[in-house]
Amino acid sequence: MNLSTADQQVLTRQLTDLSRAVEELLLTGLTAASEATRQTLEVTFREASRLRLLRLASTLRGANEEVGRFVGQQDEFSGKRLSFFLNRAWLLAQGMLQAIRTSDAAAWSRLMWTAATTPVELLQVVTLGVAKKMAKGSFCAFEFRLREVAGAMPSRLVWSCVFPLKPDNVLPAEAFLQLPQKQKFKTSIFLEPTVLTITNVLVSADEYGGGRVTLTDASTVTAGEAFEQWNSLQDWSPEPLLHRLKQHVPSPFDLEVELQDEVVLDDWTIGVPRPARDGQITFPLTWQGLEMDCVVPAGPDGDAARTQLDTLQKSDTRPPLFGLLHFDRARFILQPLATILETGPNLLTISTARIDHKALLKSLKF
């Protein structure tokens, strides 16, 4: 349990408050949800993010989004999603409190679902796709799907970043990629089809050949020469994913997307999108006779992907498609991220609209 005594004390108080807030919501109903309740969820989310408690942080983020949708009377609100995230948050909070009180490192590790980190001096990667999420008035997040091209570490890597949003924000999520990270590089450097050299990082490797990159204060990120071997990154076979699913033991904490895998599909076809449902628009997609639901957000954060998929749906030729595949209620769910061209990935999720830099600077004044 890699938490200092001070962090354990702070987290204990916040987990206790979180459990109480969830219980009050379940007892009194959403109509009694107050700003104080949402603030409790938000404060615990930020603390969990600071401590890299990613499973708890993602759960709280999902719960707060749904509460916000209910309070704002948004069509995207899903009672099923909210119930899942609230129950999961309570279970995690209670389990983490018990693990802290009893100093049970093994139970803590199971709850966190995170691998040990390894210091790495040098990575050379390219970006193959970008997942984007925007929660109105709360945050926007980007997850960069990387490939290690030097062969020293797991070939599939992920680096993510989150930007807080003001309640009155009108900027597209892509505007925040122009902001520098504390390591003094612009986040937009990860959008270029070049080899990126990253130094002094921590890598959490998983048992399936992937890993998550965490930057340190000493990390650097620099762009090098254009990458030209994109064809070498298109190989994909479903067998490892099938083996992983067969080995998986379900638990009350599972999210469907936690078992997602990166896929590259060729010779695929896509149909006319169905009407929006649960905040998503679905394109029927077929690959080698297998039917999938290709989903994109129905809100502004899905505009770029929907536009490009509409164009691809009308095209006679389609490049290999890179995305994230998971399973939900016996359905194959694909989140499309990029098409792979000879010159590099065409990032479906990223808008190329002009950025208003003056408005961006203004948005930083909280």
Mean pLDDT over all residues of the chain?
A: 86
Q: Does the structural domain 5-112 have CATH classification 1.10.3470? A: no
Given a contact cutoff of 8 angstroms between Cβ atoms, the answer to whether 71 and 59 are in contact is no
Q: Which of 275, 262, 280, 252 is nearest to 326 (CA)?
A: 262
Region 250-277 average pLDDT: 85
What per-residue confidence (pLDDT) applies to 366?
Answer: 45
Domain with CATH 2.40.50 in the chain: 117-228+354-363, 231-347
| CATH code for residues 231-347 | 2.40.50
d(CA 331, CA 152): 36
Q: Which CATH number fits domain 117-228+354-363: 1.10.101, 3.30.1920, 2.40.50, 2.40.128?
A: 2.40.50
Taking the complete model, does pTM exceed 0.85, yes or no? no
d(CA 344, CA 126): 10
Q: DSSP character for 315? A: -
Model confidence band, residue 143 (pLDDT cutoffs 50, 70, 90): very high
Domain with CATH 1.20.120 in the chain: 5-112
Taking the alpha carbons at both ends of the chain, their separation in whole angstroms is 34
Q: Which of 206, 253, 36, 278 is nearest to 44 (CA)?
A: 36
Q: Which of 84-98, 105-119, 324-338 has the lowest mean pLDDT?
A: 105-119
Model confidence band, residue 363 (pLDDT cutoffs 50, 70, 90): low
How does pLDDT run across 148-205, given as a tens digit for each residue?
Answer: 998 655 589 999 998 888 777 788 889 999 989 999 999 999 999 999 999 999 998 8
What per-residue confidence (pLDDT) applies to 322?
Answer: 97
Six-digit token pair at 310?
Answer: 């509409």
Q: Which of 278, 283, 254, 258 is nearest to 268 (CA)?
A: 283
